[in-house]
Amino acid sequence: MRLCSIDSTLNEELPAKQIAKLIDSDVAKVEINIVKKKVGTIGLTRKTLEKSHVLFITLPKKKISQEMYIELISYIDIGGTLILTLPSPPWEDLGRFFEEMIDELGISFQHNYVYGLPKIPSNTRLIGSKLTITKAHVIDFNEQKDFLTENGIKKYIPLALMDKKPVILAGYKRRGKFIIISSPEIFTDINSDFLNRLVLLSSQKIDYILSEKNVRHKIGKSNFSLQLQHGSLQSYLLSLYHYSFMFLQEEVEFTSKEDLTERIYKVLVKQKVIGELPTEQDIFKTIEKIKIK
């Protein structure tokens, strides 16, 4: 089982145990490890990082050394996933090397809060999960080509939006990933499902974005087709087309092929088009062609 480490050495505000209790090892498919500071040594050692597939650092209050800055960046570069929840700006109290790490990731916070409920983009594999945050900071990210090339950042992916701007942001850096979260409200019981899905995706070699190459399947001999893209756990994004026109896109929780067939059929019979509609048998046969995870 993959290892998810939760740091308790850089922060005294949010106990690591509070985060650990929100992550179900069976659902997220990880073993939880709380990193503790030992007498005479630092907690976050290279040995700890080498074993960790996912690392949480939450609301850091203590400065990091140049050595730790280098270790954390190297951890991401060689394939680890850092999930970093930042305190509100300014960040000067965190010291030079923490600021250098943030600069290398290419992110910053807008100082003013945004308020409301975040929306999870439908093109991510986190569809179907609920997320409750009342206030957060908008995350800005550096998309200049020279900067991206120099720092080995392949792309940024917004994972949650407020006012249509990212408050949770993922990035791919060389072989690894990092996730920046701008609100500590993420670590409440109501967000446990989101965190489990996030850890599940983060610990695997799975893209957060749904595949754009997913096949669109024609339904029988009709002019209708469907696309079913797997998110995480039992969530899917269902898209229905008439010719090339998408007339439905919604998140579905998969229960059975029979239930999904019935659901799609009820949508299709409401369509006013010339020609015959597909039968339930046509729909079921089409769904059978799709690999359901």
Least confident of 198-207, 210-219, 269-278: 269-278
How large is the average pLDDT for residues 181-202?
96
In this prediction, residue 42 carries a pLDDT of 61
In this prediction, residue 11 carries a pLDDT of 82
pLDDT in tens, 26-66: 999 999 999 987 655 566 888 889 999 999 999 998 888 89
In this prediction, residue 169 carries a pLDDT of 98
Query: How crowded is the C-beta side of 233, counted as CA atoms within 13 Å?
Result: 20
pLDDT in tens, 75-134: 999 999 999 999 998 888 888 998 999 999 999 999 999 999 999 999 999 998 999 999
Cα 96 to Cα 56, 64, 146, 173, distances in angstroms: 21, 8, 23, 21
Distance CA 92, CA 98 (A): 9
280: CB partners within 8 A, 6+ apart:
261, 262, 265
Among candidates 231, 208, 199, which has minimal Cα distance to 1?
199
Share of the chain above pLDDT 90, in %: 79
How large is the average pLDDT for residues 175-184?
97
In this prediction, residue 45 carries a pLDDT of 85
In this prediction, residue 243 carries a pLDDT of 92
Q: What DSSP character marks residue 124?
A: B
Share of the chain above pLDDT 70, in %: 98
Inter-residue contact 84 to 69 (CB < 8 Å): no
Tokens representing 222 are 């009709």
In this prediction, residue 94 carries a pLDDT of 86
pTM score: 0.92
**For residue 222, pLDDT beyond 80:** yes
Work out the mean pLDDT of the chain and round it to a whole number: 93
Q: CA torsion 156→86→49→194, rounded to 10°? A: -70
In this prediction, residue 145 carries a pLDDT of 95
**For residue 135, pLDDT beyond 60:** yes
In this prediction, residue 213 carries a pLDDT of 85
Question: Where is pLDDT greater, at 274 or 266?
Answer: 266
